[in-house]
């Protein structure tokens, strides 16, 4: 179970059936039609990145007008490009653009499913961004750089973050220096290959299908 590895993070579900948000010890599934539901404990999840969230940074950041501005403010909190970071941002979002993925049609290819993602726009939405920053060397098992999923406070809206603007937000951050990979119990179910540097990002979906979970451990003060 994903919650055995952590209470905070993100990922996807079996057959890429929607976006995953792990928040406050609950797992939420945001499907291709935008529907949000709490996932059952036995839900199949071939890929997730989770941690036990104990933030070392807790502060309020100024209003942001774009995702790039948000990432710059998050950068100011990071002290290294060689470890992982978990970010939680809560507040009122003036505008949020998300996308969600659906399973392939007629047992088609995952790459084709990734090309047909639905996009949604929300305004004046109170909610939470669950985010991870991963170093470049981890690109074989995670998305390098920033990766955010949004979930509204009413648990009715969410998805993979594409763009946003918001008023002041509460930012909490956790640095993590150790990684544990738990592989799928049935690797034969996956379709995996090692993507090259020039391969399209959607090809990463095929590699992730053989993963069960990646657990990140907090950076401890020396």
Residues 46-83 pLDDT 10s: 788 899 999 999 999 999 999 999 999 999 999 999 99
CATH number for 2-216: choose from 3.30.360.10, 3.40.50.2300, 3.30.1330.80, 3.40.50.12280. Answer: 3.30.1330.80
Strands (E), 62-110: 84-100
Secondary structure of residue 41 in the 3-state scheme: coil
What was the pLDDT predicted at 68?
98
- Predicted confidence band of residue 198 (pLDDT cuts 50, 70, 90): very low
Tell me the H-state helices in the chain. Answer: 67-75, 110-115, 204-208
Tens digit of pLDDT for each residue in 149-175?
999 999 999 999 999 999 999 999 999
Mean pLDDT of 174-188: 70
pTM over cut 0.85 = no
Mean pLDDT of 110-125: 81
What was the pLDDT predicted at 41?
67
């Amino acid at each position: 179970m994903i919650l055995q590895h952590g209470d905070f993070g993100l990922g996807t579900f079996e057959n890429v059936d929607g976006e995953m948000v792990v928040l406050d010890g609950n797992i939420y599934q945001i499907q291709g039609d935008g529907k949000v539901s709490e996932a059952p404990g036995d839900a199949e999840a071939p890929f997730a990145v989770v941690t036990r969230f104990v933030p070392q940074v807790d502060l309020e950041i100024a209003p942001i007008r774009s995702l790039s501005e948000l990432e710059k403010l998050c950068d100011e909190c990071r002290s290294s490009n060689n470890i992982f970071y978990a970010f939680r941002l809560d507040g009122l979002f003036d505008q949020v653009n998300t996308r969600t993925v659906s399973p392939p049609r007629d047992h088609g290819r995952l790459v084709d499913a990734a090309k047909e993602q639905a996009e949604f726009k929300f305004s004046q939405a109170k909610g939470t961004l669950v985010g991870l920053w991963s170093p470049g060397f981890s690109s074989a098992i995670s998305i390098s750089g920033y990766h955010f999923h949004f979930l509204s406070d009413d648990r009715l809206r969410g998805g993979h973050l594409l763009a946003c603007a918001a008023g002041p937000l509460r930012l909490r951050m956790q640095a993590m220096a150790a990684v544990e990979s738990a592989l799928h119990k049935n690797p034969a179910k996956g379709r995996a290959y090692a993507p090259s540097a020039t391969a399209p990002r959607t090809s990463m979906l095929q590699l992730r299908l053989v993963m069960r979970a990646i657990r990140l451990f907090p950076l401890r003060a020396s």
